[in-house]
Amino acid sequence: MAEGVVFDLGYRPHEGERLGRSGARRALYKDGVRRVLGLRRKARRKVFPIALIGTALVPALFFVALGVIAGEFDQAATLFDHPQYFDLTGSMALVFIALASGELLIPDRVHGTLQVYASRPLTTIDYLIGRAAALATVVIGFLWLPHVVLFLGRAWVSSEGFGSYVTAEAEVLLTTLLASVGYFAAFAPLAFAVASVSKRASLAAGVFLGIVTISGPTSAALVDAGFPSMGLFSLQHHPGYVKDWIMSSSTHSWIPERAGYEPILSVAVILTVAVASWLVVLFRQRRST
């Protein structure tokens, strides 16, 4: 029988490079992206994000495939031009942000892992920026990727030729990216604020979704009842209104629009809610640490 030999290498101090605070920030960001996508976690943690991303991509892939098989198609007839695509992915992003925000903030607090962060070369603001940047990467990527696929697919089947289509329509990539940022800015800070005061991710997601979805019909009813200023409280409708403004389209009768407000006011509301939410998160995080 062969005998194993155990070599005790003892303790080997780290004598290489140390990256300090910048390395810690990068690690935090990477961990956030992995956590949102369920990577290096149990299989069930991966199911929801991958299913959602897959579902968001399906229409783009379908129309690209249709175009490849049947040749160039009438974009208007598909009902799935870029602005309309946000009506599908925007709602999905809302659910995704609701769940991912809780997953990013709550376990660290509940399981005491914040104490590990507190012992590393990071500040509270580093921690929050790292978490927000991870969520932004995934959410903006999730919102924007289908547009990139659709854009490249249309360029591929375009009768003008790939290069000509890309040159002529490149602005779409910028406007869809801006609109994606708008959706993130409208929903994520509020979701973080709710997550920062909750002990359970599912509860935080439910409360956040409740606030946002109820805000739409409630403000619509109040606007219709003669209180136009309540149109500003329609949290669900601001990013769509801003998206239509950016993309020069009109896909819906948005409540702030019905109340007579300009899109720039919706931008102001989004920024105000974001700043207020950020302050709540910062206050809560400092107390937790």
Q: Is 167 exposed, middle or buried (0-12, 13-18, 19+ CB in 10 A)?
A: exposed
Q: Is residue 116 near other proteins by the rule CB under 8 A?
A: yes
CA distance 235 to 250: 18
Nearest-approach distance from CB 175 to other proteins, in angstroms: 36
Q: Coil, strand, or helix at residue 72?
A: coil
C-alpha distance across the termini of the chain, in Å: 55
Q: Is residue 21 near other proteins by the rule CB under 8 A?
A: yes
Q: Is residue 36 near other proteins by the rule CB under 8 A?
A: no
Nearest-approach distance from CB 53 to other proteins, in angstroms: 20
| Residue from 124, 129, 143, 150 nearest 65 by CA | 150
Nearest-approach distance from CB 202 to other proteins, in angstroms: 15
Nearest-approach distance from CB 200 to other proteins, in angstroms: 15
State which of residues 51, 79, 113, 167 lies at the interface with other proteins (CB under 8 A).
113
Q: Is residue 235 near other proteins by the rule CB under 8 A?
A: no
155 Cβ contact list (under 8 Å, min separation 6): 162, 165, 166, 169
CA distance 148 to 273: 29
Q: Which is nearer to other proteins, 4 or 13 (CB)?
A: 13
List contacts with other proteins (CB under 8 A). Answer: 9-14, 16-21, 23-24, 26-28, 30-31, 40-42, 45, 107-108, 111-113, 115-123, 289
